[in-house]
């Protein structure tokens, strides 16, 4: 499998295991669709080894730290029906900015969890620290597409160096 060019393949995973993702380690899959947060967690160890991964789709609820290690080839991450903590989203933006090439983050039906739900009382401090870190990053190579936004989401993005913010409806604007 390692010698095959799998860049034209899309792999959909509804219920994946660490063993399944170990089979995919170091392959050249082009698109990976992870339908649950458990799948993303299981795939996180091998994600950065996927040599030609250009698009990653995520679904699910993410309330812990963002542990997805993104491959350098990633061009687009698409969040589909995702519920996440502000901390998780900040860490994702930090990871995307580290790619240092044009990258798009699509946000369809993304809901930020309340601070109390996500990390307890210290969550506000963590998000504030992470937001300070985001402000210091060069995010000019990022495009953020938002179909369902919130005041909290746009507060995270306020004063950043994101070059393109694509708002898909009047409510987001």
Per residue, the 3-state secondary structure of 111-156, as one string, reads EECCHHHHHHHHHHHHHHHHHHHHHHCCCCCEEEEECCCCHHHHHH
CA distance linking residue 22 with residue 132, whole number of Å = 36
Per-residue confidence (pLDDT) for residue 80, from 0 to 100: 95
Starting from the edge strand earliest in sequence, which strands make up the sheet with 142-146, in order?
Answer: 10-13, 31-34, 55-62, 76-84, 103-112, 142-146, 164-167
Token pair belonging to 21:
């993702």
The Cβ of residue 165 has, within 10 Å, a number of other Cβ atoms equal to: 16
Residue 117: pLDDT band with limits 50, 70, 90: very low
pLDDT value at residue 27 = 93
10-167 has which fold?
A: 3.80.10
Q: Which two tokens stand for residue 170?
A: 């009047």
- Whether this model's pTM surpasses 0.85: yes
**So where are the chain's domains?**
10-167
Contact (Cβ atoms closer than 8 angstroms) between residue 98 and residue 152: no
The band of 13, judged by pLDDT with boundaries at 50, 70 and 90, is very high
Strand partners, 6: none
The CA-atom distances, in angstroms, between 22 and each of 42, 120, 126 are 9, 34, 32
pLDDT score of 116 more than 80: no
- How far apart are alpha carbons 72 and 69 in whole angstroms? 9
């Amino acid at each position: 499998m390692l010698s095959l060019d799998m860049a034209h393949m899309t792999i959909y995973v509804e219920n994946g295991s660490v063993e399944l993702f170990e089979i995919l380690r170091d392959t050249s899959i082009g698109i990976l669709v992870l339908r649950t947060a458990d799948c993303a967690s299981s795939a996180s160890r091998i994600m950065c080894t996927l040599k030609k991964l250009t698009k990653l789709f995520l679904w699910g609820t993410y309330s812990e730290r963002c542990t997805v290690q993104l491959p350098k080839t990633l061009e687009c991450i698409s969040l589909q029906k995702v519920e996440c903590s502000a901390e998780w989203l900040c860490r994702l933006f930090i990871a995307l900015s580290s790619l240092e090439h044009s990258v798009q983050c699509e946000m369809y039906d993304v809901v930020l969890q309340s601070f109390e739900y996500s990390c307890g009382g210290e969550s506000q401090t963590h998000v504030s620290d992470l937001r300070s870190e985001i402000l210091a990053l060069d995010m000019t190579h990022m495009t953020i597409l938002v179909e369902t936004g919130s005041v909290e989401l746009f507060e995270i993005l306020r004063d950043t160096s994101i070059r393109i913010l694509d708002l898909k409806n009047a409510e987001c604007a």
